[in-house]
């Protein structure tokens, strides 16, 4: 029988988790986080600049531009980073590609990704295939003032919120065993904070979509009543 020290070849929780093909990262946490936040920052700056142009003769509000910056970053994270996981989750523990190392670092906050848990694979595949492209579509729809833009925002935000709630709730039911509970970086920053963004921001955008669509429907109903009264 293997000794405990020999059997545990990874930094993940629970400590008795079996990942026989695990290979430790050769890139530091700082390198990985700098890459993630640098790319996200560049996308924010680029989208903020792009959305400063006039749309249908008027400029977008600051809040709307921030929302589009959010969707641009979502397009990158969903389509590229989560897309990588959905394609290569079976080899990530042993792979030394940069994005695989990014996922191995994140697994310190949620080891379900290291073992290809059914829920995470299913959720991330749907997220990568749908919410990634749809997020970019939302940015384009607002830039060209498409009439369906708030419908897209509502659909994607609902999907993001639903996925994030399930993500937290499934881990809650497991007793938070897939992370070092209470760790300031791995639990509170990786697991809680970075995922809570996909609860708070989509919820705000759902309310925004609700308000915009309700106002449009109210105006349409009012115009329809006027037209009906003219005919009668």
Express each pLDDT in 116-130 by its tens digit: 999 999 999 999 999
Q: Is residue 130 part of a domain?
A: yes
Q: Are 103 and 92 in contact (CB under 8 A)?
A: yes
Q: Is residue 93 part of a domain?
A: yes
Quote the CA–CA distance of 89 and 103 in Å, as a whole number: 9
CB atoms within 10 A of CB 155: 16
Q: Is residue 153 part of a domain?
A: yes
Helix (H) or strand (E) holding 59: strand 58-59
Residue 58's φ and ψ, nearest 5 degrees, are: -135, 165
Q: Is residue 116 part of a domain?
A: yes
Q: Is residue 1 part of a domain?
A: no
pLDDT value for 222: 85
Average pLDDT, the chain: 92
26 DSSP assignment: S
In this prediction, residue 166 has a pLDDT band, given cuts at 50, 70 and 90, of very high
CB atoms within 10 A of CB 148: 11
Q: Is residue 48 part of a domain?
A: yes
Q: Is residue 23 part of a domain?
A: no
Q: How many residues does the chain have?
A: 232
Better pLDDT: 28 or 4: 28
In this prediction, residue 230 has a pLDDT band, given cuts at 50, 70 and 90, of confident
Residue 110: which of 170, 21, 39, 159 has the closest Cα? 170
Split into its structural domains, the chain has a count of 1
Instruction: Say which residues have a Cβ less than 8 Å from residue 123's Cβ, sequence separation at least 6.
Output: 163, 166, 167
Quote the CA–CA distance of 40 and 197 in Å, as a whole number: 14
pLDDT value for 43: 95
pLDDT value for 223: 81
Quote the CA–CA distance of 118 and 69 in Å, as a whole number: 31
Express each pLDDT in 79-96 by its tens digit: 999 999 999 999 999 999
As a whole-number percent, the residues of the chain with pLDDT over 70 amount to 95
Better pLDDT: 60 or 75: 75
Quote the CA–CA distance of 40 and 71 in Å, as a whole number: 11
Domain ranges, residue 175: 29-215
pLDDT value for 2: 41
Helix (H) or strand (E) holding 54: strand 54-55
Taking the whole predicted model, whether its pTM rises above 0.75 is answered as: yes
Q: Are 52 and 45 in contact (CB under 8 A)?
A: no
pLDDT value for 5: 45
Residue 113: which of 148, 139, 88 has the closest Cα? 88
In this prediction, residue 140 has a pLDDT band, given cuts at 50, 70 and 90, of very high
In this prediction, residue 56 has a pLDDT band, given cuts at 50, 70 and 90, of low
The token pair at 3 is: 């000794």
In this prediction, residue 225 has a pLDDT band, given cuts at 50, 70 and 90, of confident
Q: Is residue 49 part of a domain?
A: yes
What are the C-alpha distances in Å from 155 to residues 10, 33, 135, 217, 218?
39, 30, 10, 17, 20
């Amino acid at each position: 029988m293997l000794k405990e020290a020999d059997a545990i070849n990874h930094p993940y929780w629970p400590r008795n988790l079996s990942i026989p093909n695990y290979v430790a990262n050769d890139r530091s946490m700082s390198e990985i986080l700098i890459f993630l936040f640098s790319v996200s920052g560049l996308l924010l700056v680029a989208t903020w600049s792009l959305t400063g142009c006039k749309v249908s003769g008027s400029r977008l509000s600051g809040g709307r531009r921030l929302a589009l910056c959010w969707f641009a970053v979502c397009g990158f994270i969903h389509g590229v980073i989560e897309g990588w996981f959905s394609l290569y989750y079976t080899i990530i523990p042993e792979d030394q590609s940069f994005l695989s190392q990014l996922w191995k670092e994140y697994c310190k906050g949620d080891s379900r990704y290291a073992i290809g848990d059914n829920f995470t694979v299913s959720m991330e595949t749907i997220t990568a295939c749908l919410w990634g492209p749809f997020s970019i579509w939302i940015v384009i729809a607002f830039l060209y003032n498409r009439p369906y833009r708030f419908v897209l925002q509502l659909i994607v935000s609902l999907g993001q919120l639903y996925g994030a709630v399930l993500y937290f709730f499934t881990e809650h039911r497991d007793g938070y065993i897939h992370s070092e509970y209470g760790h300031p970086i791995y639990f509170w920053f990786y697991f809680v904070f970075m995922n809570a963004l996909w609860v708070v921001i989509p919820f705000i955008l759902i309310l925004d979509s609700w308000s915009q669509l309700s106002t449009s429907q109210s105006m349409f109903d009012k115009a329809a009543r006027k037209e009906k009264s003219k005919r009668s």
